[in-house]
């Protein structure tokens, strides 16, 4: 039978157009046209819907990938999934994670025993999402369908084996709003920010509910246009979503563990209960298999850490653990929210190349007040 062998390579970027580290991986044959399945990362810029740093990076990376795969530019999305989150405030290093997958033959009975499951990856693209579907049931259902196909592509059947689903979906822009209204269609919001009523937040949250629907975290009967960004008891524990006005389709890359995997990597996840929950981050590391001594990961254990993916959503309340905070009154709250999450994770992992997306106020990505953290660790065997 055939099984997956997945690898991840973290490539720091000196600028949004920097593909030098990817080129080194290609030159050394660590990534090949047959094995590259996803590029996921953080790009410098504002993180807003019109973040030209992210758009620039997306264009350059797609052009590089088209040449690397020797395919036409418009064919790239059929081979490689792109999930780029803009904005690297604080101690978040701009970077790209190259995800590779190869299929290897394993003998009958080659299934791992007990809890020794290893990393697998699945990918899928969605149907086009017109602007009138952004933040609404149309987007939810299309992300759910793509998530189901990504799960099939990963070879997983149990949603409990899924630890991270990264999604990039279309947001709204001035042009797409005009397009919808020219066809007598309404849009969810004219606010193009990631604020409480911003179109970016609606797009991210509809995508998260699509993941929740696909994995059985939320029943479809509980979903409607009216509950998006309203009912915070509906959420996904494994969805990390972002959006951009330049997108027309959704892209999904899903990570989980399988006993048939031949990878040397394992993924785990947890959720924090609030903005300052260091234990929640440590629990994600434990879930992936990192060893701890006296409540802290040992230095030799941290060397096995490959990457951390996290959300950093601003709490909807002006209090954290009963004490008032003024973050919600700060005009730079969107950037500060991401920066705080980046600092929390860097203080525990000792590294700054962490994927930290967020800045929204409230989210269906994780429980009310909490955030999702996923970690990938290299196993010892």
Angle at 343 between CA 340 and CA 349, to 5 degrees: 145
Query: Annotated catalytic residue: which of 242, 258, 312, 363?
Result: 242
Residue 313 in contact with residue 243, Cβ under 8 Å?
no
Residue 136 in contact with residue 182, Cβ under 8 Å?
no
Q: Which has the closest alpha carbon to 248: 80, 125, 81?
A: 125
Indicate if 242 belongs to the active site. yes
Over the chain, what HEC string results?
Answer: CEEEEEEEEEEECCCCCCCHHHHHHHHCCCCCCCCEEEEEEEECCCCCCCCHHHHHHHHHHHHHHHHHHCCCHHHHHHCCEEEEEECCCCCCCCEEEEEEEEEEECCCCCCCCCCCCEEEEEEEEEEECCHHHCCCHHHHHHHHHHHHHHHHHHCCCCHHHEEEEEEEEECCCHHHHHHHHHCCCCCCCCCCCCCCCCHHHHHHHHHHHHHHHHCCCCCHHHCCHHHCCCCCCCCECCEEEEEECCCCEEEEEEEEEECCCCCCEEEEEEEECCCCCHHHHHHHHHHHCCCEECCEECHHHHCCEEEEEEEEEECCCCEECCEECCHHHCCCHHHHHHHHHHHHHHHHHCCCCCEEEEEEECCCECCCCCEEEEEEEECCC
| Six-digit token string for 327 | 């973050």
Indicate if 303 belongs to the active site. no
Query: Annotated catalytic residue: which of 42, 142, 168, 338?
Result: 168
Residue 53 in contact with residue 37, Cβ under 8 Å?
no
Residues tagged active-site? 168, 242
């Amino acid at each position: 039978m055939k099984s997956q062998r997945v690898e991840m390579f973290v490539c720091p970027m000196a600028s949004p157009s920097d593909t030098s580290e990817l080129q080194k991986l290609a030159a050394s044959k660590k990534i090949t046209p047959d094995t590259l399945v996803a590029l996921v990362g953080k790009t410098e810029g504002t993180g807003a819907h019109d973040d030209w740093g992210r758009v620039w990076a997306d264009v350059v990376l797609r052009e590089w990938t088209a040449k690397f795969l020797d395919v036409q530019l418009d064919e790239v999305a059929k081979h490689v999934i792109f999930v780029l989150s803009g904005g690297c405030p604080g101690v978040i290093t701009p970077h790209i994670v190259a995800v590779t997958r190869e299929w290897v033959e394993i003998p009958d009975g080659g299934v791992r025993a007990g809890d020794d499951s290893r990393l697998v990856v699945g990918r899928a693209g969605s149907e086009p999402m017109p602007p009138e579907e952004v933040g609404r049931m149309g987007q939810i259902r299309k992300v759910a369908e793509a998530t189901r196909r990504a799960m099939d592509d990963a070879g997983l059947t149990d949603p409990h084996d899924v630890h991270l689903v990264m999604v990039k979906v279309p947001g709204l822009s001035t042009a797409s709003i005009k397009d919808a209204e020219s066809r007598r269609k309404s849009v969810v919001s004219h606010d193009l920010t990631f604020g409480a009523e911003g179109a970016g937040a609606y797009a991210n949250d509809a995508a998260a509910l699509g993941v929740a629907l696909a994995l059985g975290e939320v029943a479809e009967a509980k979903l409607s246009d009216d509950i998006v960004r309203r009912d915070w008891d509906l959420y996904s524990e494994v969805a990390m979503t972002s959006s951009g006005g330049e997108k027309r389709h959704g892209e999904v890359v899903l990570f989980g563990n399988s006993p048939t995997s031949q990878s040397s990597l394992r993924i785990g996840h947890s959720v924090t209960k609030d903005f300052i929950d260091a234990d929640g981050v440590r629990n994600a590391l434990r879930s992936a298999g990192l060893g701890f001594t006296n409540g802290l990961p040992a230095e030799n254990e941290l060397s096995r850490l490959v990457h951390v993916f996290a959300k950093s959503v601003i709490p909807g309340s002006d209090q954290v653990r009963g004490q008032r905070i003024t973050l919600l009154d700060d005009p730079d709250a969107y950037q500060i929210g991401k920066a705080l999450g980046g600092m929390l994770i860097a203080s525990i992992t000792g590294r700054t190349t962490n994927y930290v997306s967020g800045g929204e106020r409230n989210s269906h990505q994780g429980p009310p007040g909490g955030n999702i953290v996923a970690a990938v660790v290299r196993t010892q065997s």
